[in-house]
Each structure stands twice: as structure tokens, then as C-alpha cells.
């Protein structure tokens, strides 16, 4: 049988498989090996056309998707992405990662992902509203608060969630918590916009403290890629904790601080946030940023252009740190890499980080996205809980629950890595192994109990 070429999905599958096989998991729990071919095929893939009319009255056609990958732990849960690069391989990789990421939150949510090859950039509000209505016309048949609860992702922010929710309500005549990331006045949760970025920082806080008890972000140099929701709130929380943020970027280029010892400020991040809301590119900020504070690198990512850096947080998209860039981060003295994006590092980059971790114990520690960025979906799960009870928690309550979830996730990754590692090293445990194995075991054991394999 000839399978379709799906490079992103194949990469996610291979990374998980190699991690599991290079551990003692199947020696201790051999029955779980039977789960691999089952969990790696989606329970359901929905693909549909989306026809909508632009402001000139011209009919446009896009492809819409929902990959309902695994429901062993609860309703399918994962974002919707509107971007011209969206295809089935990317959504399958995202949905596959989402299964195990969601398991690491400890909440009762399965894994899925969806979206369309629609580009919101350059579209009017009316065009986006018409597209969202057409997209939801089909998607509404397949989702529900106890079946599948999508959220936002790249290209799908608060505006799009509002249009999608309104369309669902009209088509189904139901008000239910079918989408997360909703507005605060109609079922949304406090801290949800901040959750992925904040959660990333909370996870790295535990990494810092594990390596050197009492260590914090204060005085650390932090390189961040991306400039969307995750990057913005990771930067703001890092700045709040006393770190120096030295880079942010988008698909067209990167801004890097021009002088060592300086940092992006809260005001700088606010300028970036406004530009992103207007769906413009970062380079338009040349005249808005303080003169001489930043260097703009067109067409570049920040990683090979940095001076000394303590922490790297890739927060843009998949495969944004290559093997060459990983070596550059090692050379820059980077001690911690944690992904705010999904599968932010190539397999070559992960090999560099993991090899260095074993070769020079304590030198570098890498945290994969399925663990480090699970805060977003965790607070989405908390939004679902609030919707079910028709209540709203305070900002402090949600933030405290988020911190607890990230802390528990970190402990689970560390303890699982130690329990199932075949490494002979006195260094730091592999968070890649810990995250992959912990997530897989929880899902596979639920599937075994439910008769999905035997």
C-alpha cells in the first residue's frame, strides 16, 4: 500500500516512535507497543469545501478540514488554523501532537486539529465573517461540547472565534461551550489569551529551579521567535520576572536588540501586538521603535544572530530551529530551550540538544512543545469546565490552576524520563522522552481499557 507523502506528520510520528523504542517502556509494558499503529491513525478525518463571497461579489473556494484524532481521554480538543499553508499533513501532525499534549495536562480531553487554507491577511471584517459562516456551516455537523471542542490557532483569534461561535449558534440553535477562546462576556475564560505564553514561562521556571534551586528568570537573556499571541505573552511574563528579551520575529524577518544588556520593553511588545491585530508585518515598526534600539534582519530567524543567550523560546511555527541553528544556540551559551510552538525544532536540532545534554551534563536542557506549551489547551479545558457549570473563575484562580498544571506536567515529564530511561548518565533527564512516554502511556492505557486494541 502506498501512503500519501505527509512530511510533517511523518516527522511527528517518527520522533515519538524513536523515543518510545529507545526507552525501557516496552520492556516493562510490552502490550502498549500494540497501540502505536492504532493511535497513529485518526479516528476520523473530515474534509470539505468552503465557498464564500468576497467584497467584489466574486465566489472563492477553500479547503476545510477537521482531524478528529483520538477521543480516549475525552472530547476531541485542538485549534483551528486559517493559513494558506494548511494541508492534511500539517493538521495530522498538529493533531497527533495534540493527543499527547492534552494528556499531559491531566484534563479529560482528547486530541484533534482543523482549519482551512484561507488567508485572513488582507481580508475585510465582512469577508472574514462570511468565510467563518461558510466554514462553520459544514463543521457544525461534526462538533459539540461533548464531541469536539475546537479553539483558535494561527489566523484564528478572538474575532474569528466570535464569528464561528455565532454561526454555530444559528445553525444548531444551541448555546454550548463548543469553542474555546470566547469573549469574556459570552463564556470565555480569564487568562486564556495569555495561557500558552504564561504556561511556557511557568514550565521554564521549574526547569531553572530543578537545575539550580532558587534560580529564576531575573537577569537572564531570553531569545524569542514569533510575534503572535504566544510570543507576546511569553515576552511580557519574562520581562515581568526580570529577564531581558532580546529578539522577536515574524515570517518576514527578525528584530534583535542592537546593544547587549538592553531588552524589549512592555511598550515595545504593545506596539507589536497592535501591528499583529492589524495583520501587518513587523518591519512596519521601523519608525515606531526607539531609534537605534533594534536591528532588523529581513528574511532571517534570530537564532544564528544572537550574542550570549541563556534561554531560547521558539514561539512561531513548526521546524523553526534547524540543526545549524541549534549548534549556534549551543555556541551562544544557551542553557534552556523550550518550545512555545508545536514541533518547533527539527529532528536534527533535537539531536544536537539531546547529544549535548548527555555529553556535557548540565550544559543544556530542551523541552518539547507538547509539554512546554500545553498551558493554552489546559486553560481551554478550564474554560470548558466553567461553561459546563455556568460559572466564571477569577483571574487569580485560573492563573493558579495554570501554574499547578504546568508544574505537575514538568514533574510528570521528569519522573517518567527517569523511570523509563535507558541512558547511563548523571546529567539531566530527557524531557523529550519524559513528555512523549508520559503522554503516550496515559492515552494507550485508556485505549486498552476501552478495547481499541487488545
Tell me: the pLDDT tens digits for 209-265?
999 999 999 999 999 999 999 999 999 999 999 999 999 999 999 999 999 999 999
Residue in the block written with cell 485549534 = 79
- What mean pLDDT value characterizes the chain? 95
Task: Give the model's pLDDT for residue 422.
Answer: 74
Q: Pseudo-torsion of CA 368, 79, 154, 193, nearest 10°? A: -80
Q: CB atoms < 10 A from the CB of 239, how many?
A: 19
Confidence tier at 1 by pLDDT (50, 70, 90): very low
Confidence tier at 360 by pLDDT (50, 70, 90): confident
Q: What is the 3-state secondary structure (H, E, C) of the chain?
A: CCCCCCHHHHHHHHHHHHHHHCECHHHHCHHHHHHHHHHCCCCEEEEEEEEEECCCCCEEEEEEEEEEEECCCCCEEEEEEECCCCCHHHHHHHHHHHHHHHHHCCCCCCEEEEEECCCCCCCCHHHHHHHHHHHHHHHCCCCECCCEEEECECCECHHHHHHHHHHHHHHHCCCCCCCCCCCHHHCCCCCCCCHHHHHHHHHHHHHHHHHCCCCCCCCCEEEEECCCHHHHHHHHHHHHCCCEEEEEEECCEEEEECCCCCCCCHHHHHHHHHHHHCCCCHHHHHHCCCCCCEEEEECCCCHHHCCCCCEEEECCCCCCECHHHHHHHHHCCCCEEECCCCCCECHHHHHHHHHHHHHCCCCCEEECHHHHCCHHHHHHHHHHHHHHHCCCCCHHHHHHHHHHHHHHHHHHHHHHHHHHECCCCCCCCCHHHHHHHHHHHHHHHHHHHCCCCC
Residues 6+ apart with CB under 8 A from 224: 231, 234, 235, 238, 245, 247, 248, 302, 313, 315, 340
Tell me: the pLDDT tens digits for 123-133?
999 999 999 99
Q: Does residue 425 surpass a pLDDT of 70? A: no
C-alpha cell at 341: 510552538
Question: Residue 40 and residue 388: Cα distance in Å, rounded?
Answer: 30
Size of the chain in residues:
454
- Mean pLDDT within 379-388: 97
Handedness of CA 432, 437, 443, 444 (dihedral sign): positive
Handedness of CA 86, 201, 274, 287 (dihedral sign): negative
Tell me: the pLDDT tens digits for 285-344?
988 999 999 999 999 999 999 999 999 999 999 999 999 999 999 999 999 999 999 999
C-alpha cell at 40: 497513529
Residues 6+ apart with CB under 8 A from 207: 336, 338, 365, 367, 410, 431
Q: Of 77, 101, 113, 433, which one is the catalytic site residue?
A: 113
Is 113 designated active site? Answer: yes
Percent of the chain at pLDDT > 90 equals 93
- Mean pLDDT within 55-67: 98
Please give the domain boundaries of the chain with CATH numbers for all domains: 40-175 (3.40.50.10860), 195-372 (3.40.50.720)
Q: Does residue 25 surpass a pLDDT of 90? A: yes
Residue 286, class by beta-carbon neighbours within 10 Å (0-12 exposed, 13-18 middle, 19+ buried)? exposed
- Mean pLDDT within 363-376: 96
Residues 6+ apart with CB under 8 A from 56: none
Q: CB atoms < 10 A from the CB of 153, how many?
A: 25
Residue in the block written with cell 479545558 = 381
Query: pTM for this structure?
Result: 0.94
- Mean pLDDT within 160-164: 98
Residue 347, class by beta-carbon neighbours within 10 Å (0-12 exposed, 13-18 middle, 19+ buried)? middle
Q: Does residue 2 surpass a pLDDT of 70? A: no
Note whether 448 and 31 are within 8 A (CB).
yes
Note whether 120 and 86 are within 8 A (CB).
no
CA distances from 452 to 27, 72, 82, 84, 85 (A): 21, 9, 32, 35, 33
- Residue 110 gets the label, from left (phi > 0), alpha (psi -120 to 50) or beta, of beta
Backbone angles phi, psi at 226, to 5 degrees: 90, 170
Question: Residue 105 and residue 405: Cα distance in Å, rounded?
Answer: 6
Confidence tier at 5 by pLDDT (50, 70, 90): confident
Percent of the chain at pLDDT > 70 equals 98
- Mean pLDDT within 37-42: 97
- Residue 139 gets the label, from left (phi > 0), alpha (psi -120 to 50) or beta, of alpha
Amino acid at each position: 500500500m502506498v501512503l500519501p507523502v505527509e512530511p510533517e506528520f511523518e516527522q511527528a510520528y517518527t520522533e515519538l516512535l524513536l523515543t518510545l523504542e529507545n526507552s525501557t517502556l516496552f520492556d516493562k509494558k510490552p502490550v502498549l507497543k500494540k497501540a502505536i499503529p492504532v493511535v497513529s491513525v485518526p479516528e476520523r478525518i473530515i474534509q470539505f469545501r468552503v465557498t464564500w463571497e468576497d467584497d467584489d461579489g466574486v465566489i472563492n473556494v477553500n479547503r476545510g478540514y477537521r482531524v478528529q484524532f483520538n477521543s480516549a481521554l475525552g472530547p476531541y480538543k485542538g485549534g483551528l488554523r486559517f493559513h494558506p499553508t494548511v494541508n492534511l499533513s500539517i493538521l495530522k501532525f498538529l493533531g497527533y501532537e495534540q493527543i499527547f499534549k492534552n494528556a499531559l495536562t491531566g484534563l479529560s480531553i482528547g486530541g484533534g486539529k482543523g482549519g482551512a487554507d484561507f488567508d485572513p491577511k488582507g481580508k475585510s471584517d465582512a469577508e472574514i465573517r462570511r468565510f467563518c459562516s461558510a466554514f462553520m456551516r459544514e463543521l457544525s455537523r461534526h462538533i459539540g461540547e461533548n464531541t469536539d471542542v475546537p479553539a483558535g490557532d494561527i489566523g484564528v483569534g478572538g474575532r474569528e472565534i466570535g464569528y464561528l461561535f455565532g454561526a454555530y449558534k444559528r445553525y444548531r440553535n444551541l448555546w454550548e461551550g463548543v469553542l474555546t477562546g470566547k469573549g469574556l462576556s459570552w463564556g470565555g475564560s480569564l487568562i486564556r489569551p495569555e495561557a500558552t505564553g504564561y504556561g511556557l514561562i511557568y514550565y521554564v521556571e521549574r526547569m531553572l529551579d530543578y537545575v539550580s534551586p532558587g534560580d529564576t528568570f531575573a537577569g537572564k537573556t531570553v531569545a524569542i521567535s514569533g510575534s503572535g499571541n504566544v510570543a507576546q505573552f511569553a515576552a511580557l511574563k519574562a520581562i515581568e520576572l526580570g529577564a531581558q528579551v532580546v529578539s522577536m520575529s515574524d515570517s518576514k524577518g527578525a528584530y534583535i536588540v542592537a546593544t547587549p544588556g538592553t531588552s524589549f520593553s512592555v511598550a515595545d511588545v504593545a506596539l507589536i501586538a497592535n501591528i499583529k491585530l492589524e495583520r501587518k508585518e513587523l518591519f512596519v515598526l521601523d519608525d515606531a521603535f526607539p531609534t537605534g534600539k533594534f536591528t532588523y534582519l529581513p528574511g532571517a530567524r534570530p537564532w544564528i544572530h544572537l550574542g550570549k543567550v541563556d534561554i531560547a523560546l521558539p514561539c512561531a511555527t513548526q521546524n523553526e530551529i534547524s540543526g545549524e541553528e541549534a549548534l549556534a544556540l549551543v555556541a551562544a551559551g544557551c542553557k534552556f530551550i523550550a518550545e512555545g510552538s508545536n514541533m518547533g525544532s527539527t529532528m536534527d536540532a533535537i539531536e544536537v540538544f539531546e547529544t549535548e545534554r548527555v555529553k556535557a551534563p548540565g550544559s543544556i536542557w530542551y523541552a518539547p512543545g507538547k509539554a512546554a506549551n500545553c498551558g493554552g489547551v489546559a486553560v481551554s479545558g478550564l474554560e470548558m469546565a466553567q461553561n459546563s457549570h455556568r460559572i466564571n473563575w477569577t483571574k487569580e484562580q485560573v492563573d493558579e490552576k495554570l501554574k499547578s498544571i504546568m508544574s505537575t506536567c514538568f514533574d510528570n515529564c521528569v519522573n517518567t524520563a527517569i523511570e523509563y530511561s535507558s541512558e547511563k548518565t548523571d546529567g539531566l533527564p530527557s524531557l523529550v522522552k519524559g513528555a512523549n512516554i508520559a503522554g503516550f502511556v496515559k492515552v494507550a492505557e485508556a485505549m486498552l481499557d476501552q478495547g481499541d486494541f487488545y
